[in-house]
Amino acid sequence: MPPKKKKAEEQKKKIVEDKTFGLKNKKKSKKVQQYVETVKKQASQKVDGPRRKGGASGSGSAASAARMAQMQARLAELELMNQPVQDKPKKMSAAEAERKRIEEEEEAERIRIANLPVEDQIEEERVKLKTKTPVTLERFMKWRAEKNKENQVKVEAERAAAYKKMSKAERSRGQGLTGKELFEAHSGLFVDDENAVDEKLKPISDYIGDDSDVNAEDTEGDGEEVTPGDASLFGGEETPGAGPSSAPSEAVAVGDESLFS
């Protein structure tokens, strides 16, 4: 081996030893071996210098031109792939075309009705009705009874479903139940008071009469006009067949003992 090349190999070996000093598992670990190979390549480039592309024959320019042509072809392919696709009009059958036309007409009619006032919308819907049954009181009451029955069945079903979801403790407390359901489920909890009155109590108006009668009696008088400040109203005792007495005619002396005999 020439001395110059031998010296270069020694330099490479020294650089590799310096950078890989202290590494463990150089022969077992794959990552450590890859790192050692990288260090060897770096040492070779540092000692030998960067290699000239293509050597002295000028083949580097041909390889560069080939890579450039390949890159341009790849770019052209990507540009072709990214072009927007022009959808060709799909040929529809006669049935599909008719169905689409009907849907468009229905949508236009729906939009037209939606823009009308509420009264006109109701009139439009009424005209579309096929069965024009006159509304009578009997039919309305029948319809109302059916609706109430449906609502009652729905409410009872929802209540039963909610009752099934309850725990045993919640059921024992009667949580989520109405008074009727609670009485049916736990009738033993409802005990009447011993002092409760069984008979039906009458309203107060049955005992005191109508208010109009009381007011009429209060307003009735003897027809005599009462003068304010009339002293005769405060006179002596009344005697049968005579009006109110006036003041005593005889004067009573103060301290007369005969009055107490």
Q: What is the pLDDT of residue 95?
A: 87
* Total domains present in the chain: 2
Q: Is the pLDDT at 47 greater than 80, yes or no?
A: no
Query: Is residue 24 one of the residues assigned to a domain?
Result: yes
Query: Is residue 243 one of the residues assigned to a domain?
Result: no
DSSP run (H or E) holding 180: helix 179-185
Q: How many CA atoms lie within 13 A of 142 on its CB side?
A: 5
Q: Is the pLDDT at 71 greater than 60, yes or no?
A: yes
Question: Residue 49 carries which DSSP code?
Answer: -
Structural domain of residue 35, as residue ranges?
1-48
Q: What is the pLDDT of residue 148?
A: 95
Radius of gyration of the chain (CA): 59
Query: Is residue 16 one of the residues assigned to a domain?
Result: yes
Dump pLDDT digits (tens) for 179-230: 777 676 666 666 766 676 666 777 777 666 555 555 555 555 555 555 555 5
Mean pLDDT (the chain) is 72
Query: Is residue 38 one of the residues assigned to a domain?
Result: yes
Dump pLDDT digits (tens) for 89-122: 777 788 888 999 999 999 998 898 888 899 988 8
Count of beta carbons in the 10 Å neighbourhood of residue 166 = 15
Q: CA 73, 79, 82, 86: dihedral to nearest 10 degrees?
A: -110
Query: Is residue 154 one of the residues assigned to a domain?
Result: yes
Query: In angstroms, rounded to a whole number, what is the distance separating the alpha carbons of residues 232 and 246?
Result: 7
Query: Is residue 123 one of the residues assigned to a domain?
Result: no
Among 178, 179, 172, 186, residue whose Cα is nearest residue 160? 178
Name the residue with higher pLDDT: 62 or 132. Answer: 62
Dump pLDDT digits (tens) for 151-174: 999 988 888 887 777 777 676 666
Q: How many CA atoms lie within 13 A of 17 on its CB side?
A: 6
Domain end residue (candidates: 12, 28, 48): 48
Query: Is residue 247 one of the residues assigned to a domain?
Result: no
Q: CA 214, 219, 222, 225: dihedral to nearest 10 degrees?
A: 160
